[in-house]
Amino acid sequence: MDPQDPVSMTQALIRCPSVTPEEGGALSLLENVLGAYGFEVHRMTFSAPGTPDVENLYARHGLQGPNLCFAGHTDVVPPGPLSAWTHPPFAAQIHDGVLYGRGAVDMKGAIACFVAAAVRVLKRRGGSVRGSLSLLITGDEEGPSINGTAKVLDWLAAREERLDACVVGEPT
């Protein structure tokens, strides 16, 4: 898998069966890739009564502002009956130029594009950028949405970290 190639990166993420609330290896994959390119990566699990524990990830490259953040989620809805799929939901197959798999559009593809762009910029600029790049990735968008983004934002506020701009790669 080449993190500079958004298709390869998307395929790697799709192959992680991250059905809400399971992490399925997707956040671990991002942690390894981003860490290798100098991002400071934080993994956190949040809980609330009556809801499943959810793993989240915040990764930042740089300490100065402005901080451009990409927000997204790696969790996907259950695939349902596998017999209903033309292509297996977690195989990440390409057929006639189309990538098939659970999360390809919502939203593992968008995460892969941001990672690929960030890695390319960092490589082109010798490992540094003006300001900061960050990713806020949750595993709780397709579920109750209680132990994800809002709690990561609270965690950031407690650390006095600021997101100056945020790109959300949702397809809707």
* CA–CA separation, 76 and 109 (whole Å): 12
Residue tagged active-site, from 23, 106, 140, 141: 141
Q: What is the dihedral of CA 3, 105, 40, 62, to 10 degrees?
A: 90
Q: How confident is the model at residue 155 (pLDDT cuts 50, 70, 90)?
A: very high
Position 95 confidence tier, pLDDT thresholds 50, 70, 90: very high
Does residue 75 carry a catalytic annotation?
yes
Query: What is the mean pLDDT of the segment spanning 85-114?
Result: 97
Q: 135 falls in which pLDDT band (50, 70, 90)?
A: very high
pLDDT score, position 172: 78
Q: Out of 55, 75, 106, 140, which one is annotated catalytic?
A: 75
Hey, is 34 helix, strand or coil? helix
Q: Which of 25, 44, 170 is nearest to 111 (CA)?
A: 170
